[in-house]
Structure 1
Amino acid sequence: MNTATSPPITREAALQMDREDPLAAFRDRFAPLKEGALYMDGNSLGRQPNETGPIVSQALAAWRDEMIIAWREWIRVPRRIGDAIAQSIVEARPGEVIVGDSTSVNLYKAAAAAVGAQPGRRTLLTSDDNFPTDMYTLQSLAAQHALYLKVLPTDPVNGLDLQVLRAALDSDVALLALSHVAYRSGALLDMTAVTQMAHDCGALMLWDVSHSAGSVRVPLESSGADMAVGCTYKYLNGGPGAPSFVYVRASEQQRLRQPLWGWFGHREQFAMSDTFEPAEGIDSFLVGIPAILSTIAIEPGVRCTADAGIDRLQAKGQQLTELIITLADEWLAPCGFSVASPRDAARRGSHITLKHPRAKEFVRALIAQDVTPDFRPPDMIRLGPAPLYTRFVDVWDAMQQLRSLASKIS
């Protein structure tokens, strides 16, 4: 799409892309935006599916009418939604994914379980483009257990160089913990290649798939990944603060014991035993009572994503982000903007980052005009056109708004 000889992309061309879009009908499964609003932040918080209100209302009615008896159904919700995520979102098997707690808490549980299963190994390995909460969690774990946290440098656009990673992996590494898609640049790592490199030196592999689940293929099963965590409020549209999920490969569940022992992770939770005995399988990664209302709210977005299909979503995400790059080169580069995401569609997730010294000012001005991107310091504008509900003409219009502002502000 983006070549020196290509004609300018017109608004009519964007509308034609929408007419040909096989996912166009999915937009109608989400609550409409107010007239004229453009939402380019689906990589931070997804929009509300139409089914969410009714399904949460049903849970409220069950609470009102059945009260504690409703737990007969509610108790199965974390596993039921976990299985749905496993089968349609992240390429895993039933019984390998469960929903509950925040991404930060699940990351801690998974990382601590890995450390406990690797006695004698003293190094945790990550990269400097990992999400801040991942870094804090690993710093905490290293401090608690007198471990060494090694942080690898990355290219700010293209992410982690696999040769740099290979050189850092040795027999002292207990855990390699990385983000599948970099939260700033959108750089996408090769999950299979990286996991194999970790396993070759005897390390366990933990992926944060928060910026990839629901937008690109997440091949946990075929890559051999040991563990993963992911949030549900971005591309899975579960709502603000929706509980996250944790994946543990079935063959590793017996030896990977998470450190937060709570009664919902007990083998017989209602026996009220004074001694903890972990539940079999993925249920051992639960801790306390699940947040039922917010967990149930995840289900419509997961179902919608499954119906659309990850391969189709990834293909459309690549087209949407390619359109942003093309328009940025044509319209915004002369105004001092640069593309800070990989240009190779196979190497990026579903968001694009633009850099400009006055990025924060541009984001504020866009929001004032009902165009919603987000800002990442010091100078980055992230545009996340979620493929489930974003039209190509939405991208064209949002970029046109930014172009208009650039002519005034730059």
Structure 2
Amino acid sequence: MQFRHPSDKDDVLRTKKDAFKIPEGVIYLDGNSLGVLPKNVPARLAEVVEQEWGMSLIKSWNEHSWFDLPLRVGNRIGRLIGAPEGSVVACDSTSVNVFKVLAAALSLRADRKVILSDNGNFPTDLYVASGLAELLDKGHELRVVAPEEVEAAITEDVAVVMLTQVDYRTGRLHDMAALTEKAHQAGALAIWDLAHSAGAIPVDLKGAKADFAIGCGYKYLNGGPGAPAFLYVAEVHQDNVTSPVTGWMGHEAPFAFDLDYRAVHGVNRMTVGTPAILSLSSLYAALDVFEDVDMADIRKKSISLSELFIKKVEEKCPQLTLASPRDPETRGSQVSFRFEEGYAAMQALIARGVIGDFRAPDVMRFGFTPLYLSHQDVVDAVAILADILETGSWDRPEYKSRAKVT
């Protein structure tokens, strides 16, 4: 194997790229939005469809352990986010899980009414919090501050601190352990959204003493579009909370068909309806690639890739302004640059085979997935970006026409 960029020669993760199906001629810098298809997933999904569903039919709930799949997937994810076995379950969507864990957390702090978040949080989390406060109709307030003001805003009237660990727009990284400790000192609980963390950076939920967490399966975990999300409940809370949506999968004896609801012990009480077996099977198979991977190696390479990207962009693309934190220790596995015509420039870049994405009003966002990106990919991507900016080839009507998804 030839290595054009010297850093690729010593890359301990370089063979992992072979586990993914990446179109020829594409440099994919959008794994923070939708992960690449792992090559083992189609065969596994075909097996589930043709053999399990097709041949075993309803017997598969027992014969192929479909019933336990949410917890089995959760345990695999748990290993990547510092969560003990039996504390993570894969189910529903991220937004639904935000609703469930936030309602559960508020029930544990019934005497307090403030939900604290920041304006770098993913908007849907804020929408869910606002909607839940309105639904509860008990005087709850969603208090939103700037990310750097969160610590000072954790006062004794706060019930729950609800934050996204890695800012979806800039990649800014919150200090989970420090902010969780501050929340606990003030008598509040901490909920962490790991949508841009799980599979990308080392996370230690137990070590940080986080109370709850949620995240999605389709970004760095490569579970596919619409892959099930996951949620975490610290062991200390598991038997003290109940999902606000009390469905039969969270019942202690779902096939007794009792008319009264009794929550099962453990994190499974946060499940609701029949699990999405095909999607869960895809996600379970996609997680195979992490089995022999150390998250410390992923983080080391992520920083190396992103530092190289920033260096090259600032050398060759003076039209762009760094929007992400410069210190890699305070940044997740993505880099964002501001450019007034960022949407058009990103469309021109995609047309040249370098895929990132755009976040309004002017952010060009680039994700770095160490499992399938090389340092040479970074060098090549920046060369194409520089050419687009230098020639002004982004300045075309077709690149300025906004699509539904940016």
TM tier relative to shorter chain: over 0.9
Q: CA deviation at 1:119?
A: 1.2
| Structure 1 position 14, deviation (Å) | 5.6
1:364 to 339, 343, 347: 347
Write the distance in 2 (CA, Å) between the matches of 1:271 and 1:114.
29
The whole-number CA distance in structure 2 between the counterparts of 1:83 and 1:365 is 41
Aligned 8 A contact 2:345 2:388 in 1: yes
Amino acid at match of 1:291: A
Displacement, 1:239? 0.3
Q: Which residue of 2 aligns with 1:262?
A: 247
Q: Measure how far apart 1:301 and its partner are.
A: 2.6
Structure 1, unmatched stretches of 5+, are 1-11, 154-159
* Alpha-carbon distance between aligned partners in 2 of 1:254 and 1:271, rounded to the nearest angstrom: 21
Aligned position for 1:408: 391
Other-structure match for 2:208? 223
What are the residue-to-residue correspondences of 1:270-309 with 2, within 5 Å? 270-309=255-294
- Counterpart of 1:243 (choices 203, 209, 228) is 228
Q: Aligned residue for 2:399?
A: none
Equivalent residue number for residue 105 of structure 2:
114
Question: Take 2:150 and 2:188, find their aligned partners in 1: how far apart are those partners?
Answer: 13
Q: Tell me if 1:28 matches 2:18.
A: yes
Provide the rounded CA distance (Å) in 2 between the counterparts of 1:20 and 1:264: 47
Q: Is the CA contact (8 Å cut-off) linking 1:352 and 1:382 kept in structure 2?
A: yes
CA distance in 1 between counterparts of 2:366 and 2:3 reads 20
Alignment partner, residue 323 of structure 1: 308
Which position in structure 2 is the counterpart of 1:397? 380
Name which of 69, 77, 80 aligns with 1:77: 69
- Counterpart of 2:366 (choices 383, 386, 393) is 383
> Which whole-Å CA distance do the structure 2 matches of 1:299 and 1:63 have between them?
17
CA distance in 1, matches of 2:123, 2:291: 29
Query: For residues 19 and 300 of structure 2, what CA distance do their matches in structure 1 show?
Result: 20
SS in 2 for 1:308: coil
Query: Paired residue for 1:54?
Result: 43
Q: Is 1:123 paired with 2:114?
A: yes
Report how many residues are paired. Answer: 387
Query: In the aligned structure 2, how far is the partner of 1:255 from the partner of 1:329?
Result: 51
* Identity score, percent: 37
Instruction: Give, in whole Å, the separation in 2 of the partners of 1:373 and 1:166.
Output: 32
Structure-2 separation of matches of 1:150 and 1:199: 18
Asked whether 1:342 is paired with 2:325, we answer: yes
The one-letter code of the counterpart of 1:149 is L
> Partner residue of 1:45?
34
User: 1:129-166 deviations in whole A, cap 9, x for unaligned?
Assistant: 0001111111111212231110012xxxxxx22xx223
TM norm structure 2: 0.93
Equivalent of 2:142, from 142, 149, 152? Answer: 149
* Partner SS for 2:232: strand
1:312 to 287, 294, 297: 297
Q: Deviations over 1:42-95 (max 9, x none)?
A: 1000001111011111111211101000011111111111111112x1001111
Provide the C-alpha distance between the structure 1 equivalents of 2:83 and 2:291, rounded to a whole number of angstroms.
14
Distance 1:46 1:306 in 2: 17
Q: Could you tell me how far 1:13 is from its partner in structure 2?
A: 8.4
Could you say what secondary structure the match of 2:115 adopts?
strand
Which residue identity does 1:216 align to in structure 2? I
Partners of 1:99 and 1:58 in 2: how far apart? 21
Q: Which moved more, 1:240-249 or 1:167-176?
A: 167-176
Cα gap change, 1:306 to 1:340, in 2 (>3 Å): farther
Question: Which residue in 2 is equivalent to 1:192?
Answer: 177
Looking at structure 2, the residues matched to 174 and 126 of structure 1 have their Cα atoms a distance apart, in angstroms, of 11
Question: For 1:331-374, what per-residue CA distance to the aligned partner results, in whole angstroms no more than 9, with x for missing partners?
Answer: 112xx211111111111111000110010010111111121110
Output the amino acid matched with 1:131. Answer: F
Alpha-carbon displacement from aligned partner over 1:183-202 (angstroms, at most 9, x marks no partner):
00101111100100100101
CA contact (8 A) 1:359 1:380 kept: yes
Distance 2:197 2:128 in 1: 20
Q: Which amino acid aligns with 2:75?
A: D
Q: Does 1:93 find its partner at 2:84?
A: yes
Q: Which amino acid aligns with 1:379?
A: D
* 1:104 equivalent among 78, 90, 95: 95
Task: Please say if residues 328 and 339 of structure 1, whose CA atoms lie closer than 8 Å, have aligned partners that are also in contact.
Answer: no
> Over the residues paired in the alignment, what is the CA RMSD in angstroms?
1.3
Whole-angstrom CA distance in 1 between matches of 2:357 and 2:293: 26
Deviation at 1:306, TM superposition (A): 3.4
Structure 1 CA distance, aligned partners of 2:368 and 2:118? 26
TM-score (norm 1): 0.92
CA contact (8 A) 1:26 1:308 kept: no
